[in-house]
Chain A
Amino acid sequence: MRHFLTILSHEIRMLLVSASTYIAAVLFLAVMGFIFAGVLENYSKAAQETSPATVFFQLFWLPVFFMVPLLTMKCISEERRLGTLETLLTAPVTTAEVVLGKYFASYFLYLLLWASTGGFFYILHRFAGDLRFLDLGPLLGGYLFIAISGLFFVALGVLASSLSRNQAVAGILAFTLLFALIIGLNYASSLEMMNLDSMKPARAILDYARTFRHLDDFSHGVIDTREVLFYLSGTVLALIFSILGVEAKRLHS
């Protein structure tokens, strides 16, 4: 892991000097600001039971669906298409170092983008002057959920990127994987069929893996280690498959 930090700092640098990062950030903040303004408008019309932060984070999947594929689709497939993966892997670095370096750089940017939405809450706090709007519990819980689930989401994006030399294919694949994980599981667990007694084990599994339930728990301040473990094990698995994917493509190139 000698070169992990070299690759990580290089990747972060490249992300920070590239124009596309800033375009993505501006668009991300525009969309999120729009959502946030919409949430606040509801509050101005009628009293609501939950805090704005809870409602805001309920919509986490929307930016995840387009930001994660955009951030990660380039990382390995672009290098493979250009052929620079060959120069990179013939330097004294291991595939694991390359994949982890790229993964953590993308994750860093993902966190940075989400952290910038903290500005919305600061503005709300500054100008609303009503502390009830800023319930610290759901806010911190929400960000913690974003940070922990982001590990898995970004890892899925890196996995998709390691499987194709075409960025577009990698992007669509990442989107599909995320969609299946977030919406697909949620939908499957709400099927009528799942109420059958014989489906009880399947129901338990689906319920365990439901992202929306995790979000509820986190924003209520319940940090369940089983849920943390779900994301961590998923991350490790996705990264191992990414490393294997890069290796397999190299061996069969």
Chain B
Amino acid sequence: MSADLPAIEVRDLVKTYAGVTAVNKVSFTVARGEILGFLGPNGAGKSTTMRILTGYLPANSGQVTVCGLSVATHSDEVKNFIGYMPENNPLPDDMRVSEYLHYRGRLKGLSRGKLGVRLDEVLDLCDLKRVRHRIIGTLSKGFRQRVGIAEAILAEPPVIIMDEPTIGLDPHQILIVRDLIASLRGRMTVIISSHILPEIEMTCDRVLIINQGRVVTQGAPADLRREVFGHSRYELEIAGDTAAALPAALVRIEPTLHIADAGEPDAAGFRKLSLTTVRDDDLGETLLRALAADERFRLRALNRVQPSLEDVFLASTRRGWDAVDAPKGASK
């Protein structure tokens, strides 16, 4: 386990269920201490990939190594490196919180003495102290979710895999979970899957978008925006001779700048325009100065549009309804 080895390395992973390809040649690596977000529509193969990473499911082909050990041949050792929270976070309903965490800690090989200290630490970290003696079956969804997260980080494994950890939580609880995950940054490698895109955008260092079993795109959220859209966008509200004079004026400011979309003028004669350019750096100030100085135009508003991860997600997983309705095997 040398330090320069990636925490997780997946190469050409394939998994089929009864003829349906759930995961198709997926490859990615996750560095130590990195937080990776797994994004994809339902049935994209997120949970299947996660289950293969934990060694719960065998893959049809491909290679998965966790901390330098192959999951297929060293599954028992690999289980020690991973804290896993499955989809829907299944918990036994008839146990108390501290009892359950104690049992799980023992299963994960923590000694009794160490477990007592660690249990207090984890309960504190996940804000579960108040409910430590409550029966899990009587807890609210937010508490249950946090019990699952506490269980995953209990043995301080180098890799934590959580399948939709924030599903069903209220905004306050999401904030707590987000801080919790962020606090693991640098110490543990975390993979989370989610549908809540702002969540992923805020907590993750890198995002992997997966659709119909294939990796569509991956990278830091900012890089993804550039990669998927290939340009920056500005929105302005402007009056004057926008049709004839403006394009020429824009080209003088920046050669690749052009009008992508123009709205109808309102009562005061202002129209909403959207401009695109391949330049990444902020042209806002140059644009504002140039247009304000030009007497042919009257500028009211200028705004740089940041495409959200949601736009990236939608753009990269866009698919026609026929592709959705057709059986998966046939669409290949």
Contacts and interface: CB of A to CB of B under 8 A. Distances in A.
B82 interface: yes
Interface in B161-215: none
Contacts of A251: 57-58
A108 B57 CA distance: 32
B56 A14 contact: no
A90 B107 CA distance: 10
Contacts of B308: none
Contacts of B84: 87, 90
Given A90-B55, A92-B80, A82 B108 contact: no
A233 interface: no
A125 interface: no
Main secondary structure of the interface of B (DSSP, over half): loop
Contacts of B86: 83, 86-87, 90
Interface in B265-311: none
Contacts of B106: 3, 6
Contacts of B61: none
B281 to A, nearest CB: 46
Nearest to B88: A83
Contact of B107 (A86, A91, A250, A253): A91
Contacts of A18: 94
Contacts of B104: 87, 91
Interface residues of B, number: 26
A116 interface: no
B32 to A, nearest CB: 21
B94 A86 contact: no
B79 A91 contact: yes
A94 interface: yes
A14 B94 contact: yes
A7 B82 CA distance: 20
Contacts of A94: 76
A90 B92 contact: no
A27 interface: no
A75 to B, nearest CB: 13
B95 interface: yes
B56 A91 contact: no
A10 B56 contact: no
B113 interface: no
Contact of B90 (A10, A17, A82, A91): A82
Task: Give the interface residue-count category, chain A.
Answer: 20 to 34
Contacts of B58: 251
Nearest to B55: A90
Contacts of A92: 76, 79-80, 107-109
B28 interface: no
Contact of A93 (B51, B94, B107): B107
A84 B85 CA distance: 10
B101 to A, nearest CB: 12
A132 interface: no
Contacts of B54: 90
A91 B57 contact: no
Nearest to B53: A90
A6 B107 contact: yes
Nearest to B18: A252
B134 to A, nearest CB: 15
B91 interface: yes
Interface in B38-58: 51, 54-58
Interface in B99-117: 103-104, 106-109
Contacts of A88: 107
A2 interface: yes
B318 to A, nearest CB: 31
A89 interface: yes
Contacts of A89: 56
Contacts of B91: 84
B23 to A, nearest CB: 15
A78 B54 CA distance: 22
Contact of B57 (A10, A14, A253): A253
A10 B107 CA distance: 10
B90 A84 contact: yes
16 contacts: A6-B103, A14-B95, A83-B86, A83-B90, A84-B90, A84-B91, A86-B51, A87-B104, A87-B151, A89-B56, A90-B79, A91-B104, A92-B76, A92-B79, A93-B107, A94-B76
Interface of A: 2-3, 6-7, 10, 14, 17-18, 82-84, 86-94, 250-251, 253
Given A87-B84, A87-B90, A87-B151, 5 more contacts: A2-B109, A6-B106, A7-B107, A86-B51, A250-B56
Minimum-distance CB pairs A-B, first 3:
A83-B90, A92-B79, A91-B107
